[in-house]
Structure 1
């Protein structure tokens, strides 16, 4: 995955706030209503993506080429596997749904994880740059997919309607860095959502709370940057690539 880089942290980004505190590790154990809200939130993206992809396959007016049809079918399969994994985790009580110390999560190359998330963004709005070492880096398959998908959905929902969405990743001395950018602005609502120790009522901030919860399992961090001349970057930092196997 490659493209123009709209995020250059050393030159154009400024970390605007202290890192948020950890999410409440026991919240889901004591709040069945929150568990239901988490399930509904996490199921929303794969269900919507499957609806759009299968609609495209069924639309005779699109005159898809064979390569396009195969690509859409592959993306639909990825979303179906993701949904199946969420259902399995819900039944087993793992992943984002319980505060297990380190649930078993098979690893996969980051590039494989990013492709379905990038497919959520219309092509004319997508900016992506993933270095080769970062793309080959093994990451927890389910947790990382949920993290990146939630961040992309957040950018699509809260950024400008036709603004560019960036997905960037690089591997350095401090670990794996993944950033999702949009052309919006840092506002108090976003800062509060990133700092809140437990999710508020309704769906507001729930996706970011889930992201923080998932990152905590792998010792990851979430950082907020203000981009210059405009834009927001939410950066995930994983301390080291998990060992394959």
Structure 2
């Protein structure tokens, strides 16, 4: 894309030369020596007493040193104040002087970046607590209402009432299981067991499980995953003998969550295509999940993989009912492989592209 005029198109930003503190201190020493030498020469030329020259030299050197020292210690004092505030939970403070062209400027940039990261983590923690509380409150309130009606004699403990209670219990179980997965992710205790497998039978089994699970949930009027049986799932693997190297269990999470999300946002009697191709390196895999729904606007394409993000656009009359964690789990599993996941351009609907390397990249 070409940049509009008036926004600095084609004008490289000037790179400021960096002047280290060592250079500044060396310059201070040289200037002090020159001042002392100059005053000494003046004393020899004018027959001024040496003690006056010494006093003037010391005063001049002290003034210059004080000026330079203030320029070096003032930023350190401010950094100390900001760091003390961060240690007490105030992540809004920032250090000035990040544009300095020395080591203190680099340190200021580092502290500001650390404050940005800590502020983002703190905000995410608060959002996580709020979202988890909301997610748990809904099924717990519904389950409590069902049980209170049974205890109070308002409704009988018939199979239909028990199915309603079971539905909310299953939803709680799925949410807790997903949160446990996220906890293992954050703690870095999830191992990656990669192996070589044939793609066609593997993905065919995943799609068959998705259809069977949707049918069972539709009969039980469940929630938390899609209950639609009108959407056709199509598998396209080329070549048919394609093989890949990945963790089959983690890849199952990726494909199942992507299919679930695609089905939810498909139009009535729509079509979801799972397409697999060979990647650039041996045993690598390029995987696509394409639906015929409304698609995802470009500004929201990065946000859909955030935790508890519920993208709009579900089919009319088809409530989402999900936790907003499916795509976050998919991104986590792909990152665990050292691969990439993202929303790709598509003429119609939403197209999510997953790229897995043949050999998992070493994690830092």
Give the TM-score taking structure 1 as reference length: 0.53
Instruction: From 200, 206, 223, give the equivalent of 2:308.
Output: 200
Quick one: distance in 2 between partners of 1:111 and 1:201?
Answer: 31
Hey, what does 1:163 align to over in structure 2? 270
Determine if contact 1:182/1:231 at 8 Å carries over to the other structure: yes
Q: Work out the CA distance in 2 between the residues paired with 1:173 and 1:232.
A: 24
- 1:94–1:159 Cα change, 3 Å: closer
Shift of 1:221: 1.2
Question: What residue is the counterpart of 1:240 in the other structure?
Answer: 358
Aligned-residue Cα RMSD (Å) equals: 4.3
From the superposition, tell whether residues 224 and 111 of structure 1 become closer, same or farther in structure 2 (CA, over 3 Å).
same
Distance across 2 between alignment mates of 1:207 and 1:115: 20
Which has more strand, going by share of residues?
1
Distance 1:191 1:222 in 2: 16
Kept after mapping to 2: 8 A contact 1:193/1:209 = no
Give the whole-Å Cα distance in 2 for the aligned partners of 1:215 and 1:130: 19
Shift of 1:172: 2.4
Match of 1:211 among 313, 330, 340: 330
Question: Counting helix residues as a fraction of each chain, which structure ranks higher?
Answer: 2
CA deviation after TM superposition for structure 1 residue 129, in Å: 1.3
Larger deviation: 144-153 or 199-208?
A: 199-208
Structure exhibiting the larger radius of gyration computed from Cα positions: 2
| Contact 1:177/1:236 (<8 A) preserved | yes
Q: Is the 8 A contact 2:230 2:269 kept in 1?
A: no
Q: Paired residue for 1:115?
A: 204
TM-score, reference length from structure 2: 0.38
Alignment gaps of 5+ in structure 2 = 1-119, 137-172, 212-228, 311-321
Matching residue of 1:227: 346
Conserved 8 A contact 1:101-1:217: no
Rounded to whole Å, the distance in 2 between the matches of 1:178 and 1:137 is 11
Instruction: Give 3-state SS (helix, strand or coil) of 1:169's partner.
Output: strand
In 1, Cα distance between the equivalents of 2:182 and 2:205?
A: 19
The offset of 1:95, in angstroms, is 7.2
Partner residue, 1:82: none
| Contact 1:133 1:170 (C-alpha < 8 Å) held by counterparts | no
- Structure 1: how far apart are the matches of 2:206 and 2:299? 23
Gaps of 5+ in 1: 1-23, 39-85
Preserved contact between residue 137 and residue 241 of structure 1 (Cα < 8 Å):
no
Secondary structure of the residue that 1:104 maps to in structure 2? coil
Distance 1:138 1:102, change over 3 A: farther
Taking the aligned partners of 1:214 and 1:33, their CA distance within structure 2 comes to: 24
Q: Give how far 1:213 is off.
A: 1.7
